[in-house]
Amino acid sequence: MNWLLLVLAVLAVAGVYLSWTAGRIDRLHARLDAAGAVLEAQLFRRAAIALEVATSGMLDPATSLLVIDAAQRSSAADDEEEREVAGSDLSKALAVVFPDVETSQEIAAEPGAAELLAELGAACRRVEMARRFHNDTVATTRALRGRRLVRWFRLAGHARMPATVEMDVTPPAGLAP
């Protein structure tokens, strides 16, 4: 009788632990979906502001075309791989346009340009933070899903293993705070 109670207690504790772990995995996947949506929204916002800067007339025509092309490709990207490449290309284009603070200050001398450049700099920093948060959530999820009990009992269900976003999102040096 005592052995039976002990076995039932162990099974109950194991069941509670497995249930708690499955719930945690589910919450991490929900947080991962939210982080991906935030990153996508921030990328779209950065592209829209970059497009606004490029069409405002404060940049020379060739530079404007470079930024417009990169911003439009970033906004129109459909799949994850294309989005990563287009986002990196926009970051590189902005780094070419705003290589240092002096160049940015010259451009900011135009009427209304300082506010637009400040908004673009803030958008670039938000993209960087959103990507970092997303990748941290991916790392946490992958670590939990890599545990032996999680794999053995298939606590993650059939959800695919999340992947990090490998994209250059470094804010341009000229737009640093």
User: What are the tens digits of pLDDT across the range 121-171?
Assistant: 999 999 999 999 999 999 999 999 999 999 999 999 999 999 999 999 999
Domain-located, residue 127: yes
Please give the Cα distance from 73 to 57 (Å, whole number).
20
**96 has a pLDDT exceeding 80:** yes
Domain-located, residue 15: no
Domain limits for position 128: 22-161
Please give the Cα distance from 70 to 128 (Å, whole number).
17
Domain-located, residue 143: yes
Mean pLDDT of the chain: 94
Domain-located, residue 173: no
Per-residue pLDDT tens digits for 75-84: 999 898 999 9
As given in the structure block, the two tokens for residue 61 are: 């025509």
Task: Give 60's pLDDT tier (boundaries 50, 70, 90).
Answer: very high
Q: Which of 118, 107, 93, 123 is nearest to 56 (CA)?
A: 107
Please name the amino acid found at residue 1.
M
**pLDDT cut 70: percent of the chain above it:** 100
Domain count, the chain: 1
